[in-house]
Amino acid sequence: MTQVPFSRPGAIDLSALKRPAPAAPSAPAAGAGGGGVGGPAAAGGAASAYAVDITEAAFQAVVEASMTAPVLLVFYSPSRMPESAQLADDVATLSAEFEGRFLAGLVDIDAEPGIAQAMQIPSIPLVVAIIDGRPAPLLQDVLPIAELRTALTQVMQQLTVQGITGRHQPRHAEAADEEGEAVDPRYAAADAALAEGDVETAIAEYQRLVDANPADHEAAAGLAMARVLLRTRDADPAAARAAADAAPDDVDAQILAADLDLLDGRVDEAFGRLVELVRRTADADRTRAREHLVSLFAAVGNDDPRVLRGRQSLASALF
């Protein structure tokens, strides 16, 4: 079996680890077509739609999955270092929280010594990041899950800055709503909170997704709309619109009325109200009106034709 140092700068050549596919069918690789990458991870009881137990036969598929989004390989040994198995569980748990920003590949070196030999693993525990087929050591200590969460958040933020924003697909069939349409599990917690009227929790859930991946436009749209719901929760629509009509240059009044217009489906009216406010105001008031209008664009969705018209009107009002 070919040894492959994990510090090698190029793509990993793990052809020596390829084996015939097992007779029993395996789940498809997350983000890697139809190649199997082992079963759902459960190093010590943890399970995640974004974590897998790695075998030699499936290792190449895991490397290929890293071309879609990062893979974090966790090398552990339940017999020699039980706490390393806890680290594996914690990484699997966090893979669910990060919802596809990385795939957790758990390697029990007692069961799969060939992988550790090929990767020239010096000691356990060890977490190796594989990005675009290239490996790099990431962690060599057992951390409490809170510290591990912070460390991985920082890593994902750095990758986002570098333009690495891909996500793995969950390794189980997506749930379906009552109409039979697929439901993305990333947004399940926020959607459930909104269904229960818990807007604050929905905002926190969407904010967590946006923090983890600023390029997640769906999460950004959900966050913007949830904030609209929060701002208008105790508003009297008739009184708010009357106040806005009576004070056309009152930024607070116009913003609240625009939010209510949006919730009523009067999207063009909401945008038009704020465009005219931008046109009439200056300095800090103008900035507030413009920024709020942009947040409503995000709530509706940047590809919506009403947003495209609204952006054109905003540009005209500004220049």
What are the tens digits of pLDDT across the range 61-77? 888 888 888 999 999 99
What's residue 183's pLDDT? 53
**Token pair for 280:** 């009439």
Structural domains in the chain, sorted by start: 15-161 (3.40.30.10), 186-232 (no CATH), 237-318 (1.25.40)
**Token pair for 119:** 């990767």
Mean local confidence (pLDDT), 109-133: 91
What's residue 28's pLDDT? 31
What is the band of 43 on the pLDDT scale with cuts at 50, 70, 90?
low
pLDDT tens track for 123-163: 899 999 999 888 989 999 999 999 999 999 988 888 887 88
pLDDT at 237 over 80: yes
pLDDT at 86 over 80: yes
For residues 305, 310, 311 and 316, what is the CA-based torsion angle, rounded to 10 degrees? 140
Instruction: Please report, rounded to a whole number, the percentage of residues in the chain having pLDDT higher than 90.
Output: 44
Task: Provide the strand spans (E) within the chain.
Answer: 51-53, 71-76, 103-108, 126-131, 134-139, 175-176, 182-183
Q: What does residue 217 show for φ and ψ, rounded to 5 degrees?
A: -70, -30
This prediction has a pTM of 0.47
